[in-house]
A = this chain, B = another copy of it.
Amino acid sequence: MNMFLNSMESKEISTFRRISNTLQHLSTYHLSLPVEDGTENEHPLRSPDIDMLKHLLDGDFKRDRTQIRQLIQNSKSFEEIHLIESISPEVHRERTIQAVREVIDLSIVSVTDMKDNPEKFLSWFETVSICDLSVVLKFAVQYNLWGGTVLFLGTKKHHDKYLNDISNGKLLGVFGLTELGHGSNVQGLETTSTYDNATGEFIINSPTWTSQKYWPGNISAHGQMATVFARLIVDGTDHGVHAFIVPIRSAPSPGKPYGEVLPGVEIRDITQKSAYNGIDNGGLLFRNVRIPKDNMLDRFSCVNERGQYQSTVPPNRHFAAMMSVFFIGRLCISSISLTAMKSGLVVALSYSHNRKQFGPPKQPEQPIINYSTHQRRLIPWIARCYTLDFTHKYVVKSSKSMDVLHSYSSGLKAVTSWDSLVALQNARECMGGQGMRLKSRITVLRAHSDMCTTGEGDNIVLCQQVAKFLLFKYNNSINEGGSFTGELEYVNNIHRPTTENWRSLSYQQWLLEKREFALIKELHKKMYTSNPSIKPNSEEWYHLWDKCLNLAIQLTKANVDRLVHSIFLQKIISITKESNASTLQMLKKLCCLDGLVQIQRDLGFFCSTGIISGHDKWVKLDDEINALCKEITPFSRELVEPFGIPPRFHPYQNSLE
């Protein structure tokens, strides 16, 4: 702390002290206190403490992470042969499952950690996602989805019977939610589960071609059971979508390691994809397959002993109750694209420090990272990785209510996956043709992140949920007198900062708050002005809302930008005591750079609404971002070292080939 304070001006010290002291009184998401960091007066940047950065990124699970990284670095099963040779999906799938078993053998987490220790689970998942992403997606299928339904939607009888074998990989399973005809609108799915009172069984049926369960991994080769979401019909009444465990293959037997497809079950293979070819995605149809009554996952509802449907949640909340428990899964998918972004940046940075091209007249050629365009295309994404990483860790630890967590995880997944694609495209282009060799992994990582934009909830659909959450909060607040609480509490404390210095983190925070609030108000105006008592779910709402979709997406991005910036600020403040001055200074720079880049991305909104005024702001902001990138560049390799990408996935460390 003292070293850090010594490096600051007295005004900064008092600001930081004030913030540190008041942190405990702050609403978690509000941090608009002035952080008069005045970075422009600081000493030149120095190397950060890499161990401290590693500590920040590895969190409390350094030992677990190290074990996983060593396995990935050393085991033959994690060689990415599909990046060098054409291999068939069959070979890729077998390698994937072999790698999965080796990770299981480390015995780091079990399915129940999703509930008991989500922080540990996310940390484990994120580290596994360093390798071929088919491996981690196989875990997403097996643990988060198949295991997750049993854990979160089942009761003790299911937990006792299945969870252990799901964790140890003996019982591979399928998450049968989406259908060919219903991807996003899963409430409209067609599969039926009809209760037969005579036998006490459910009859699972796929009434149409479009009702086939479509996409889930573990269908076409490996899965022995499936959680099937189906419309529950009891005595001719449709009670909506519920979940059931349905066996689809027989138990493994000698010579048949994945058993045989059971009668009444039909399976299709989904052919080549742009990524995850180690996953056996498929289509799954049921021809009146009978399952015992106990196979209904009955945490929220059941068919009772008298053959009657009963539920602990109202019908219109039932589906949401089932879905909300998957927020950890969404964070996991988001962390796949975050790790892909980190991995790609490590490769592109190495290459750009080694690769030389052009130079000043009559002087040797320069490493291409020295060019300001290369810096602009790579350095801000390093900052972004830190920002998003801190936010993932914050959200998984948060004890907020489920609707808040749903909003956080949805917005964060959308922004992370979109950002990852842009970052990886920049990384690709920064490597020239080498970026197109599969060996460099860049395009493969991009293909994997690509899935994350529509997997585990289409980003556009999720953004709408975030925007509606904020809109309803706002509408309730003004109906109740205009005091903002919860996620909108920050609005009560938006004060124009004393500085408009681009590098002031508090100025940036103010800008981000102003923008988000302006977007909420605009959305509210559009939805409620003509009819203040408009009903959500009415036809009027449906048509008005459609006109606001782009606005809703902008609002979600703005919401996430504000959130991640405030979380980064908190992180800086919270480690002030334990960090040295150069590390804190570096983190402030990263936070500052990330803030400025987000502001530049949307400068049109800031300027056209008057939040930013004055002449030539575009040029000045652009110059500032250039300057920041240039300051950080000499430390860029140090900054990505804590990402912990094993050397095996780092093909351009020393030279060209």
Contact = CB atoms under 8 A, between A and B. Distances in A.
Interface of A: 83-89, 180-185, 188, 210, 214-215, 270-275, 356-361, 363, 365, 370-373, 376, 421, 425, 428-429, 432-433, 435-439, 443-444, 447, 450-451, 453-455, 458-460, 522, 537-539, 542-543, 546-547, 549-551, 553, 600, 602-610, 612, 614-619, 622-623, 626, 656-657
Contact of A438 (B88, B274, B376, B429): B274
A190 to B, nearest CB: 12
Contact of A539 (B88, B360, B373, B437): B360
A358 B459 contact: no
A241 B357 CA distance: 17
B547 A181 contact: no
Contacts of A606: 604
Given A188-B365, A549-B373, A605 B618 contact: yes
B439 A458 contact: no
Contacts of A185: 357-358, 365
Given A607-B604, A615-B608, A184 B432 contact: yes
Top 8 closest A-B pairs, CB basis?
A: A603-B604, A274-B443, A607-B607, A608-B617, A608-B618, A272-B438, A373-B549, A604-B604
Contacts of A612: 608
18 contacts: A83-B271, A183-B357, A183-B432, A184-B358, A188-B357, A270-B437, A271-B438, A272-B437, A360-B539, A371-B546, A425-B450, A435-B454, A436-B450, A547-B623, A547-B626, A604-B618, A608-B614, A608-B616
B608 A275 contact: no
Nearest to A537: B361
A609 B357 CA distance: 35
Contacts of A89: 86
A425 B274 CA distance: 13
Contacts of A363: 539
B182 A439 contact: no
Nearest to A604: B603
Given A83-B272, A547-B626, A604-B618, 9 more contacts: A86-B272, A181-B656, A188-B358, A433-B455, A443-B447, A550-B626, A600-B604, A609-B615, A609-B616
Contacts of A447: 274, 436, 443
Nearest to A602: B604
The majority secondary structure among interface residues of chain A is helix
A274 B609 contact: no
Nearest to A600: B604
Contacts of A619: 522, 551, 608
Contacts of A454: 429, 432-433, 435
A539 to B, nearest CB: 5
A489 to B, nearest CB: 26
Contacts of A539: 360-361, 363
Contacts of A609: 615-616, 618
A443 B612 CA distance: 39
Given A272-B85, A425-B421, A438-B271, A542 B183 contact: no
Contacts of A549: 371-373, 376
A469 to B, nearest CB: 18
A431 to B, nearest CB: 8
Contacts of A358: 184-185, 188
Contacts of A360: 539, 542-543
A425 B446 CA distance: 11
A503 B184 CA distance: 35
Nearest to A553: B373
A600 to B, nearest CB: 7
B436 A451 contact: yes
A451 B431 CA distance: 11
Contacts of A376: 549-550
B547 A372 contact: yes
A396 B5 CA distance: 63
B538 A361 contact: yes
A373 B550 CA distance: 6
Nearest to A522: B619
Contacts of A546: 370-372
Contacts of A372: 546-547, 549-550
Given A447-B443, A626-B547, A436 B274 contact: yes
A355 to B, nearest CB: 9
Contact of A182 (B270, B357, B371, B450): B357
A44 to B, nearest CB: 18
A64 to B, nearest CB: 31
B84 A180 contact: no
A247 to B, nearest CB: 25
Nearest to A546: B372
Contacts of A433: 183, 214-215, 451, 454-455
A271 B616 contact: no
A275 B604 contact: no
A603 B214 CA distance: 42
A89 B437 CA distance: 13
A535 to B, nearest CB: 10
A450 B610 CA distance: 38
Contacts of A622: 550-551
Contacts of A429: 453-454, 458-460
Contacts of A273: 436-438
A543 to B, nearest CB: 7
B542 A361 contact: yes
Contacts of A214: 433
A212 to B, nearest CB: 10
B87 A86 contact: yes
A444 to B, nearest CB: 7
Contacts of A537: 361
A87 B87 CA distance: 8
Contacts of A550: 372-373, 376, 622, 626
A522 B617 CA distance: 13
A458 B86 CA distance: 28
Contacts of A86: 86-89, 272
